Amino acid sequence: MLQVNKPTSEINRDFAEADGSPSQSLTSYLEVVRRQFPTMVAIASASVILALLYLFTAPPLFTSTASMVIDTRKVQLFQQQSVLGDIAVDSATVETQVEILKSDNISLAVIRDLHLIEDPEFTGPGVGLLGTIIGFVSDLFSDGRAPSEFEQTQKALERFQKNRTVTRLGLAYVMEIGFTSKDPAKAAKTANAIADAYIVDSLEAKYQATRRASIWLQDRIKELRTQASAAQKAVVDFKTANNIVDTGGRLMNEQQLAEVNSQLVLAHAATAEAKARMDRINDILKQEIPDASVADALKNETIVKLRGQYVDMASKESIWSMKYGSDHLAAVNLRRQMAEIKKNIIDELKRIQESYKSDYDIAVTREEAIKSSLANVVSESQLTNQAQVQLRELDSNAQSLQAMYDNFLQRYMESVQQQSFPITEARVISAATMPLKSSYPKALIILAASLLGGLMLAFGAAMARELTDQVFRTTSKVEDILGTNCIAILPALPALGSAAAPPGLAGRLSRKNNPQPDLLRYVVDNPLSRFSEAVRSVKVAVDLNAIVRENRVLATTSTLPNEGKSTLSTNLAQLMAHGGARVILVDADLRNPSLSRALVPDAKTGLVDVVAQKAKLEDVLVVDPETKLSILPAGTTSKLLHTNEILASKAMHALVTQLRAQFDYVVLDMPPMAPVVDVRVTSSFVDSFIFVVEWGKTKIDVVQHNLRGAPEIQDKLLGVILNKADTKALSRYESYHGRYYYQKYYARYGYVE
């Protein structure tokens, strides 16, 4: 059999290969835009229209900005440190000040100062059309009582914070305070008021903190004064109890010990010197006559004089002894004088010895006395040193308390000075001025945002429509989902006119007098229409399939009623008959023979009677005089309960075999598949089934379910016909199905849509 249901041509293979190309995703999105273009245009236009409406109704708003700096250079009027300590101004500190500016405390202060509760802009209905609507709705649901002062304040606070902006400029220590209002002067005044309120709040916070610190310092100073006095008194009492006296910053015991120690050193030196003199004099006494060096050392004039005399006499005695002999009287007298002089020298030396001995004894006695005094002083100093440990602890405690007292007293004096002149780190560097042009609404930005938002919303809606569009609209969707060919797409025809007229002369006359078209004869009345061209494509598919095997008995069916299968059956049969073929149209929809009611409303007998052998075939046939189409109506079917048994009977098989022999084409108008099972029993004598699906309406899952449950129909399925297509919308889904090509080609022949 010719596989017209499977697209295996080179063109289709090219399309299959193109599906995996990198540009396919972009192409698919463009296809979505093309298909949903009217919806997207409507949504985007609505968005722009709403933006324009808002621009026309929104009142102009003015924004004024003041600049404030957090000065990192601390102003010290009294050149002293703050009582509370100076906090380094860093990035976190600036961010903290920004939050303080945004606080309710600053906002409420400005609201009180400017009496904004009495301003309708802050307590009245909202600005603009939207605000008026919201205010009106709020009034409808309110209890009718007048709002309290607290409620008005909260409402004004909410509006105030909504219109106020506080931002930090980059990493600088500068903050911008902006305020938006309908009145430009009010915007500038309010922005400056926010800056002033912040400075006043900072000063007040520092004043209160300093005041609290001063009060605490007063109490602490009293306690420290008492503690310092008690500690100092304890030191004095301890010194008195332990006989500790300070002289020039030193203890008296220490001074005495140093003095006695010095005296002992001097006494010991004097004793040694005296002993040395005494030892020396003893050595001299051992000599007969002291030599000159000893005499000079003693520095005694008597000894020096006597020694001189002794030396002279000794010299004379030596001369006389040598001259006159040692026994000479003069020599003897000289020796006697020399002895007397020697005795005098020795006596003088002994006197000096006694003097030296006396000096030595005195020195020793004095040294012993000083040693005794030193021992007493050392004993007293040891006792004093033991008490000195506790004294130092008492003195250290007294000094610490005194230092704390002095420090707290100094802090208290600083706090008193700062209370009289508080200093803040913030200052206004640029005051807010009245703006010359409005800052809101920004027409270009709003229009651009509305257009962009509208396009995004439109694209989202388009994607949502695509994802939720579970119907057949394109031939490719039919082929991908059902795996069969989409033979043709039939456009939706105009409303039904007098389609119930019989196919006789009277019927033709009635159609001539009726301006509305007859849908069941549309291919005859409008042979150059697009509908007729689509029906011709169905006939071509039938003929091509007949090349492989016999394809003369055709059955048209659908999933649901009212999808146009009867219209297709009639027009296909009319087209074949009008072309000269012998064609019979059989109304096999025994449950609802709408085709018989439309074409042969007066027929009393038909298919049922022929199958039951109550009537002959030639007696019940009706022939259209214009196209020579033979019509076999259904007959009387109102009392039939098992129509499927009739269609599956041997008599029905025999009838179809007879029709196959007498006619070139047998077109069976079958019932829909979903409500009844009649179609499935006819697969044994039907050559091909033509499946009609209503374009853009019949759900995909319904079609899949019915075809999946009827494999015998799938095997003989010629293809799918998409019926009642909207040609305008179809051109967006498949451009090659647009009306332009038909209009251009058939324009000379009077093309009819």
Q: What pLDDT does residue 348 have?
A: 79
The predicted structure's pLDDT at residue 22: 54
- ∠ CA 487-489-491 to the nearest 5 degrees? 155
Is residue 428 within 8 Å of 68, Cβ to Cβ? yes
CA proximity to 666, closest of 593, 588, 606: 588
Choose between 88 and 451: higher pLDDT: 451
| Residue 129 binned pLDDT confidence (cut-offs 50, 70, 90) | low
Supply the pLDDT for residue 403: 86
The whole-angstrom separation of Cα 167 and Cα 173 is: 11
CA dihedral 17, 22, 26, 32 (to 10 degrees): 30
Least confident of 216-225, 417-426, 441-450, 697-706: 417-426
CA torsion sign for 190, 191, 194, 199 is negative
Unique residue bearing structure tokens 């307590």 = 123
**Residue 575's pLDDT is what?**
92
Given a cut of 90, is residue 193 above it in pLDDT?
yes
Closest CA to 725 of 461, 475, 470, 465: 475
Closest CA to 341 of 363, 315, 380: 315
pLDDT at 574: 93
**What's the pLDDT band for 513 if we cut at 50, 70, 90?**
very low
Angle (CA) 496-502-507 rounded to 5° is 80
Query: In angstroms, what CA-CA distances link 15 with 33, 45, 305?
Result: 20, 35, 159
Identify which has the larger pLDDT, 699 or 393.
699
- For the chain, the distance separating the N- and C-terminal CA atoms, rounded to the nearest angstrom, is 35
Work out the burial of residue 293: count CB atoms within 10 Å of its CB; fewer than 13 is exposed, 13-18 middle, 19 or more buried: exposed
Taking residues 299-328, report their average pLDDT. Answer: 78
What are the φ/ψ torsions at residue 430 (nearest 5 degrees)? Answer: -150, 110
More confident residue, 305 or 502: 305
Q: State the average pLDDT over residues 138-142.
A: 60
**Side-chain-facing half-sphere of 125: CA atoms under 13 Å:** 13
111: Cα separation from own chain's centroid: 33
Q: How far is CA 309 from the centre of its chain?
A: 128
Helix H or strand E segment including 217: helix 184-241
Task: Provide Rg for the chain, Cα atoms.
Answer: 68
188 pLDDT more than 50: yes
- The secondary element (H helix, E strand) that includes residue 411 is helix 329-420
pLDDT attached to residue 360: 84
* Encoded tokens for 83: 């009582």
* Per-residue confidence band for 500, with pLDDT thresholds at 50, 70 and 90: very low
Residue 558 CA to residue 707 CA, distance in Å, equals 10
Name residue 573's beta-bridge partners: none
**Peptide bond before residue 441 is cis, with ω within 30 degrees of 0:** yes
Give the residue-averaged pLDDT of 228-237.
Answer: 82
pLDDT greater than 60 at residue 211: yes
In this predicted structure, the answer to whether residue 171 has a pLDDT above a threshold of 90 is no
Contact indicator for 140, 134 with CB cutoff of 8 Å: no
Q: What is the mean pLDDT of the chain?
A: 79
Cα 334 to Cα 686: distance, rounded to the nearest angstrom: 199
Residue 737's identity, in one-letter code, is H
Residue 454, helix vs strand vs coil: helix
339-398: pLDDT as tens digits: 888 888 788 778 888 888 888 888 888 888 888 877 777 776 666 666 666 777 877 888
- Residue labelled with tokens 């006043």: 200
Integer Cα distance of 535 and 723 in angstroms: 11
pLDDT of residue 208: 80
CA distance 460 to 578: 50
Q: Rounded to an integer, what is the distance from CA 536 to the centroid of its chain? A: 64
Residue 527 has pLDDT above 80, yes or no: yes
What secondary structure does DSSP assign to 264-317, as a single string? HHHHHHHHHHHHHHHHHHHHHHTSSS--HHHHHHHT-HHHHHHHHHHHHHHHHH
Per-residue pLDDT for 692 more than 90? yes
Note the pLDDT tens digit of each residue in 559-581: 999 998 999 999 999 999 998 89
The full DSSP string for 77-137 is SSSS--TT-PPP--HHHHHHHHHHHTSHHHHHHHHHHHTGGG-HHHHSSPSHHHHHHHHHH
pLDDT beyond 90 at 586: yes
The token pair that represents 76 in the structure block: 């010290």
Average pLDDT over residues 511-522: 61
Q: Write the DSSP symbol of residue 147.
A: P
Query: Which pLDDT score, from 0 to 100, does residue 278 have?
Result: 81
**Cα torsion at 193, 197, 203, 205 (round to 10°)?**
180
| Predicted local confidence at residue 142, as pLDDT | 61
| pLDDT recorded at residue 16 | 41
% of the chain residues with pLDDT over 70: 79
Higher pLDDT, 726 or 62: 62
Q: Which residue has the higher pLDDT, 256 or 246?
A: 256
CB 543 within 8 A of CB 575: no
DSSP string, 653-679: HHHHHHHHHH-SEEEEEPPPTTT-SGG
* Alpha-carbon span 253 to 258, nearest angstrom: 8
Indicate if the pLDDT at residue 476 is higher than 80. Answer: yes
* Burial environment of residue 428 by CB neighbours within 10 A (0 to 12, 13 to 18, 19 or more): middle
Task: Give 16 or 710, the one with higher predicted confidence.
Answer: 710
Q: What is the pLDDT of residue 290?
A: 60
Please state the rounded mean pLDDT for residues 510-521.
57
If one counts every other C-beta atom within 10 angstroms of the C-beta of residue 307, the result is 21
Confidence category of residue 304, pLDDT binned at 50, 70, 90: confident
Segment 139-146 shows an average pLDDT of 61
Residue 394, number of CB atoms within 10 A of its CB: 19
Q: Which two tokens mark 336? A: 């006697």
CB 635, CB 604: distance < 8 Å: yes
Determine the average pLDDT of the residues in 487-512.
56
Q: How confident is the model at residue 302 (pLDDT cuts 50, 70, 90)?
A: confident
